[in-house]
């Protein structure tokens, strides 16, 4: 996968992309990530990339020309000719569709993603209308720039590329993962796929830490009991923290039974 990031702060990405799975994926050649300085596409000697908003009002707006020229220079197909099952130009925006695990899965299946980071009051609307094919928000809050959002998307998508995570099965048993991706028939029988719920709780040694004990069942060696405990815990945690996910999830008869056991 090739990922291009367009930003006025290219140095921002030196930290986030140089650690852990993202770094390993780059080093293994699974992902190529290039950061492009938008100011390199400014036309004046002051490297101006923003201007005042038409109609008046607060703040400045990123101009369309440098962004269009930068993206055109990346040899991405024009929006009309773009094969959206292969490549996507994404505009980071608080007004976008919410980025979640299912969007991450969609992006991870592509060959190329271009991420455009806004700043100031935002980006000239024509970028979203005529250049980008997706507008994504990482949550219902306003950030001062799209860079953090782009880093979130790169991290989340990169770990879904086959081979990026040492044990690929672990990405199939995590929070929010729906059954289409989770059931490959190879998952360990002692764990459960989340089926769109939150993950079950994890513990490691010591079994007794300052009097806080690991649930006994996890050391029992009874795989069926462990599986049921994990599923029940995932259901309980989802009910407690994200009841909205529980409403959308397809619950099995066993799930209903486990919820009833509380
Ligand atoms: N005026 C905009 C609004 O009210 O929707 C906010 C602009 S924000 C200060 C500047 C830039 O930060 C945006 O152009 C966008 O790229 C990025 N940004 C802000 N919030 C975001 C979010 N929740 N998700 C993704 N990007 C965001």
Q: Whole-angstrom Cα distance, residue 28 to residue 44?
A: 39
Residues 132, 234: one domain? no
Residues 74, 116: one domain? yes
Within a domain: 219: yes
Q: 262 exposed, middle or buried (CB, 10 Å; 0-12, 13-18, 19+)?
A: exposed
Cβ neighbours around 101 below 10 Å, total: 18
Within a domain: 164: no
25-69 pLDDT tens trace: 999 999 999 999 999 999 999 999 999 999 999 999 999 999 999
Residues 53, 96: one domain? yes
Within a domain: 166: no
Residues 98, 199: one domain? no
Nearby residues of 188 by Cβ (< 8 Å), 6 or more positions away = 169
- Mean pLDDT is highest, among 20-24, 34-38, 180-184, for 34-38
DSSP secondary structure code for residue 199 in this structure: P
Structural domain including 179 reads 173-260
- 3-state secondary structure at position 51: strand
Percentage of residues in the chain having pLDDT higher than 70: 94
* Substitution site in 49, 61, 144, 146 for ligand 1 pocket (most atoms within 8 Å of beta carbon): 146
Residues 70, 153: one domain? yes
Question: Residue 184: is its pLDDT beyond 50?
Answer: no
Residues 154, 179: one domain? no
146-159 pLDDT tens trace: 999 999 999 999 99
pLDDT on residue 143: 98
Decide if 118 contacts 145 (C-beta within 8 A). Answer: yes
- 3-state secondary structure at position 195: coil
72-104 pLDDT tens trace: 999 999 999 999 999 999 999 999 999 999 999
Residues 150, 212: one domain? no
Ligand 1 center–CA 91 separation, angstroms: 10
Span of 14-18, 50-54, 141-145 with lowest mean pLDDT:
14-18
Q: What are phi and psi of 65, to 5 degrees?
A: -55, -50
* Substitution site in 92, 97, 121, 150 for ligand 1 pocket (most atoms within 8 Å of beta carbon): 92
Within a domain: 61: yes
Within a domain: 168: no
Q: Is the CB of 134 under 6 A from ligand 1?
A: no
Question: Residue 6: is its pLDDT beyond 60?
Answer: yes
Mean pLDDT of the chain: 93
Which residue, judged by its Cα, is nearest atom 1 of ligand 1? Answer: 121
Question: Residue 186: is its pLDDT beyond 70?
Answer: no
pLDDT on residue 104: 97
Residues 140, 184: one domain? no
- Quote the number of domains for the chain: 2
Residues 220, 124: one domain? no
Ligand 1 center–CA 121 separation, angstroms: 8
């Amino acid at each position: 996968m090739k990922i291009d990031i367009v930003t006025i702060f290219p140095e921002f990405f030196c930290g986030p992309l140089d650690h852990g799975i993202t770094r390993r994926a780059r080093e293994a050649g699974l992902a190529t990530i290039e950061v492009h300085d938008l100011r390199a596409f400014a036309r004046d000697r002051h490297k101006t990339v923003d201007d005042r908003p038409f109609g008046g009002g607060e703040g400045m707006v990123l101009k369309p020309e440098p962004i269009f020229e930068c993206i055109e220079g990346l040899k991405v197909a024009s929006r009309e000719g773009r094969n959206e099952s292969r490549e996507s130009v994404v505009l980071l925006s608080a007004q976008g569709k919410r980025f979640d695990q299912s969007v991450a899965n969609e992006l991870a299946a592509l060959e190329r993603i271009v991420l455009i980071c806004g700043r100031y009051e935002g980006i000239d609307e024509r970028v979203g209308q005529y250049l980008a094919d997706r507008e994504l928000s990482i949550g219902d809050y306003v950030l001062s720039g799209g860079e953090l959002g782009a880093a979130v998307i790169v991290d989340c998508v990169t770990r879904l590329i086959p081979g990026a995570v040492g044990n690929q099965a672990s990405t199939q048993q995590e929070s929010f993962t729906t059954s289409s991706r989770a059931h490959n028939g190879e998952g360990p029988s002692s764990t459960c796929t989340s089926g769109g719920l939150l993950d079950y709780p994890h513990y490691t040694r010591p079994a007794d830490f300052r009097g806080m004990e690991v649930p006994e069942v996890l050391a029992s060696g009874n795989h069926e009991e462990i599986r049921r405990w994990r599923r029940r815990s995932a259901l309980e945690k989802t009910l407690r923290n994200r009841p909205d996910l529980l409403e959308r999830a397809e619950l099995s008869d066993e799930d209903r039974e486990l919820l009833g056991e509380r």
